[in-house]
Amino acid sequence: MRPRQLLTAALMCATAAAALAQGKPDVGKRDYEAKCAVCHGLDGKGGGPYAANLKGTLPDLTTMARRSGGAFPTARATEIIEGAGKGHGTREMPVWGLDYTVQAGEMLPDMPVNQAQFVRSRIKALVAYLEKLQSK
């Protein structure tokens, strides 16, 4: 190939990759909107339509990093979502790790699926979305 053809091909590949990346769904955002926003609100500030039915006040998810000394608490957020450890006291929040495990079995009933890997990847995506919500 000539240099000009090579450059054109490289630009076309880069453009295609960028287009694909933009079209890729944000699984964490989708899961947040489907599972979390009803309580925590779409903005993450705790004002979802179901929040008033809960016993306690929901935390502002946009200030998690600030409340943790400036660094987003990835491990703690993962534990809370997964349902490991103490969570939030009375455990009004669903144990999403269990929910994702059931979902993996339902989604792919006839296929071998590593449920633990499925659960980890979904929780990781959700935690990554929470990190994007942090106020600057």
Q: How far apart are CA 40 and CA 75, in angstroms?
A: 20
Residue 104 lies in a domain: yes
Residue 1 lies in a domain: no
Per the structure, the count of domains in the chain is 1
Residue 11 lies in a domain: no
Residue 14 lies in a domain: no
pTM to 2 decimals?
Answer: 0.70
- Tell me the Cα Rg of the chain: 19
Residue 41 lies in a domain: yes
Taking residues 80-93, what's their average pLDDT?
Answer: 64
Residue 40: give the domain boundaries: 25-132
Q: Report the pLDDT value the prediction gives residue 88, as an integer from 0 to 100.
A: 46
Residue 122 lies in a domain: yes
Residue 103 lies in a domain: yes
**DSSP result, 53-118:** GSSSPPP-GGGHHHHTTTS--HHHHHHHHHT-TT-STT--S--HHHHHHHHHHHHSTTS---HHHH
Query: At residue 17, does pLDDT exceed 50?
Result: no
Cα–Cα nearest to 66, from 129, 131, 126, 127: 131
Residue 37 lies in a domain: yes
Taking residues 13-29, what's their average pLDDT?
Answer: 64
pLDDT in tens, 110-122: 666 677 787 888 8
